[in-house]
Chain A
Amino acid sequence: MGMPRPRFLAPMITAVALTVSVAACGSGGTEASGQAGPGAPAEKIKLTVALFSDFHYAPLYEEFKKTHPNVEIVERRSQFNDHHTNLITQLATGAGAADVVAVEGGYIGAFTPSPEKFHNLKDYGLDKRQGEYLDWKWQLGVSNDGSSLMGLGTDVGGLAMCYRPDLFKKAGLPTDRDEVSALWPTWDQYVETGKKFVAADVAGAKFTDGPGEHFRAMVEQAPVGYYDDQYNIIAGTNPEVRKAYDMGIRMIEEGLSAKLAAFTPPWNTGIAKGTFATMVCPAWKTGTIKDQNPGEGAWDIAAVPGGGGNQGGTHLMLPKQGKHPKEAAELINLLTSKESQIKLFKEASALPSLPALYDDPAVKDFVNPYFGNAPIGKIFTDAAKALKPQKVGPKAGDILKAFGDGLQRVEQGKQNPEEAWAQALKDVGRIK
């Protein structure tokens, strides 16, 4: 009985000792960052940064370490949806969140009602940067009650309309991007152009992929979307939503739609083979198109109808669980600075959220040879500049899905427009 006991005990003791020492480290860290801060520069600090893809931050971390030699930065990445649902779970259970988290525009409304779960960036002097930002981008990072600055914006997803010059030529429409932009200052004119395309009867091609993304863009262009100022859901009564829905229905009834839902494999094939001639195109969708390899110049980029728009774009936020908010705040200040954003635009085509950069030649004169040398820097920043801020509520994504499904039910001939509208409202009503 002599031997087994120590053998069993040793790991136990080690484990307990480790737990205690880790806990000690943890609480020590709090004290240091909470009170001592700059007084204890020698203390080793580890910051974790949770992202949902490669943001090309590695060189910027090195830059940060030059001024903060005691800070070690560990980046972890997970898949887009997992990243956000994990974050919700980590906040709810009070453990496991990184020091710095990326939150994408589609999800940010789920977090802004809970400022108590995040550090207030005003406490670290970051509210002084408000003047640099696009107004709507800045507002997205403010808590719903306005009390707390929860996130700093990184990039934006300015909106455009991608189109296929070859199909436009077959339909007898102009192919030059400025002339194409001039065809559709409004969504009405976009549908009218679509009717001309249908009349020309181009073999094997529809005018557009499906009405879902158009609906989304139209609602987001309106001053008020699914939520009112007090974050009540008003999707059913807001005439802007109904207007966008009716426009979607018109696109279906006029035969403009290829009946393809975005981001499905057949939709990908459609991009490559050109089974539809236009689609709503946030800046990052140019990458999606290129991945399908439709060929250089197959797609070109024109302005989006309705004047500007945005889809996506990210904020960096600091969960309350983080022990080193001061250093983390300094880090995100660096990651979102003018110098960093211009580097990231060149490096990763991330469109800056600081309008001062839009006149920088690196952005303004940037052309993409894959899209017929389209000046994408200018097109997408014009769209981002034109957007007005809108209150984005916590369940905006679910509400959008309810209406998108409704449009598709009409498209698939399962329901008439009124039935689909009624069911969409019922689905919205179920959202808690």
Chain B
Amino acid sequence: MATRVPERLAEAPPGKPMGSRRRAVRRHLVHQLDVKGSPYAYVAPFFLLFSAFGLFPLVYTAWVSLHEWTLLADEQPFVGLENFRTLLADDYFWNATFNTLSIGVLSTVPQLLLAIWLAHLLNRPLRAQTFFRVTLLLPNVTSVVAVVVIFSQLFGRDFGMINWMLSWFGVGAVPWNEGVATSHVAISIMIMWRWTGYNALIFLAAMQAVPRELYEAATIDGASEFTQLRRITIPMIKPTIVFVVITSTIGAMQVLAEPLLFGVYTLTGGVDRQYQTLALFIYENFVKLDLGYASAISWMMFVFIVVIAGINYLITRRSRGGLV
């Protein structure tokens, strides 16, 4: 200590004003960093996790898709776009794409119409409101495996309940999981069962934000219930509708568990691939450990989802002008 003090004193005369200025600059920098930098620090955890579990797999999948990559082989030769070339010429890929779109439309459209109708029914003073709302959400918290197993039994050919009920009307035993149309309908019903209530609750939340006065005025003007739904409710909750349409579309593009477990655990979606979806097609090739090809399919599916989400975005922008 004793020796250091004189040193500091000796340096002090020229250094003192500079030292305080430096300190001020430093304080300013720290402040700047705090203001400009700390928000990034706050959001960093998400982006770090996203990079590790979202971005990195995405990029790495693209890298893998350019290789002939099987897990057991010792080397993974680079093949460029060969996997994509094979994929675009692969009947089974287009079959899976068709099935995905078909099941997507069959499940999403009636589901959203039904959800709006259910939300509309619940958007009025009711006894035991919470009970009804919780009931709506129940199918969604049920395990998807349980849902598919139960529905597979309902749709059974020989001893299924649905065929039993159809037999009252003289309809013969329908082999639900054999045909293209029948299997798509059956799978769509499973998806609707799980998601209609969930979407109805989102619609309900949006509907509750619609001012009551509009309905009162409409009632005074003599507008019917249906007209009120069509002319007031739907235009007022349009942004929510678009949101739900987009999330449901993305969900429908990724359907996996239902076709995987429908009837019997099957990677090909039936013996004629009649209900193999894109996600299941990826899984099939993944299980075969053909990781390069599975990655290529994953990227094609990603492109499809981006395109469809983009179309929906355009619809959003257009419809924004029409809102109240």
Query: Interface digits, B147-178 against A, CB 8 Å rule (1 contact, 0 not)?
Result: 00000110011110000000000000001001
Selected contact of B271 from candidates A263, A270, A275, A409, CB within 8 Å: A409
| B264 interface contact, C-beta 8 A | yes
Question: Per a CB cutoff under 8 Å, which of B263, B271, B287 touches A405?
Answer: B271
CB-CB contacts below 8 Å: A212-261 with B: 259, 261
Q: Which chain A residue lies CB-closest to B180?
A: A414
Interface-side segment among A17-25, A85-93, A185-193, A334-342: A85-93
Given A88-B289, A405-B271, A432-B70, verify A412-B159 contact (CB < 8 Å).
no
**B5-53 at interface with A (beta carbon < 8 Å):** none
Are A275 and B178 closer than 8 Å at their CB atoms? no
A133 to B20, CA, bound (A): 90
- In the complex, whether B272 has a CB less than 8 A from a CB of chain A is yes
Q: Is B82 an interface residue (CB 8 A)?
A: no
- The residue that A92 contacts in the complex, of B72, B157, B264, B287, with Cβ under 8 A, is B72
Binary flags per residue of A106-135, CB closer than 8 Å to B gives 1, else 0? 000000001000000000000000000000
Interchain CB contact under 8 A, A266 and B156: yes
* A92 adjacent to B271 (CB under 8 Å): no
| A261-B264, A269-B158 known; A89+B70 contact, CB < 8 A | no
A92 near B156: Cβ-Cβ < 8 Å: no
Decide: A275 and B272 in contact? CB cutoff 8 A.
no
A259 to B72, CA, bound (A): 37
> Chain B residues with Cβ under 8 A from A261's Cβ?
264
Contact of A263 among B157, B158, B264 (CB under 8 A): B264
Chain B residue nearest to A267 in the complex (CB): B264
Contact of A398 with B by CB under 8 A: yes
What residues of chain A lie closer than 8 Å to B158, measured between beta carbons? 266, 269-270, 275
Which residues 265-300 of A sit at the B interface, judged by CB distance below 8 A? 265-266, 269-270, 273, 275
Question: What's the least CB distance linking B289 to chain A, in Å?
Answer: 7
Q: Is B311 an interface residue (CB 8 A)?
A: no
Residue-wise, chain A 397-432 has the 8 Å CB interface mask toward B (1 for contact) of 010010011101100101100000000000000011
Is the CB–CB distance between B264 and A412 below 8 Å?
no
A interface, size bucket = 20 to 34
Q: Does B298 contact A (CB under 8 A)?
A: no
Residues of A within 8 A of B288 (CB): 398, 431-432
From A89, A265, A406, give the contact of B71 (CB < 8 A): A89
Residues of A within 8 A of B188 (CB): none
B159 in contact with A269 (CB, 8 Å): yes
B residues within 8 A CB of A147?
none
**Chain B residues, Cβ within 8 Å of A398:** 288
CB distance from B321 to the nearest CB of A (A): 49
Query: Whole-angstrom distance between the alpha carbons of A88 and B290 in the complex?
Result: 13
Interface residues of B in 252-268 (CB under 8 A from A): 263-264, 268
| B287 touching A265, Cβ below 8 Å | no
Q: Are B72 and A412 in contact (CB under 8 A)?
A: no
Residue among A263, A409, A412 making CB contact with B175, cutoff 8 Å? A412
Query: Nearest-CB distance from B268 to chain A (Å)?
Result: 7
Q: How far is the CB of A6 from chain B (nearest CB, A)?
A: 24
B258 CB → nearest A CB, Å = 16
The reply to whether B156 and A432 contact each other, CB–CB distance below 8 Å, is no
Cα distance A259–B156 when bound, in Å?
13
Q: Is the CB of B271 within 8 A of A412?
A: yes
Residues of B within 8 A of A35 (CB): none
Q: B117-160: contact bitstring with A at CB < 8 Å (1 yes, 0 no)?
A: 00000000000000000000000000000000000110011110
Tell me if A408 and B271 are in contact (CB < 8 A): yes
Q: A259-B175, A412-B178, A432-B70 are in contact. List 8 more A-B contacts (CB 8 A).
A: A88-B289, A114-B72, A263-B264, A264-B263, A405-B268, A414-B271, A414-B272, A432-B290
CB pairs A–B below 8 angstroms (16 shown): A88-B289, A89-B71, A92-B71, A92-B289, A264-B264, A265-B153, A265-B264, A270-B158, A273-B159, A275-B158, A406-B271, A409-B272, A412-B175, A412-B271, A412-B272, A414-B272
Q: A residues near B, CB below 8 A? A: 85, 88-89, 91-92, 114, 259, 261, 263-266, 269-270, 273, 275, 398, 401, 404-406, 408-409, 412, 414-415, 431-432
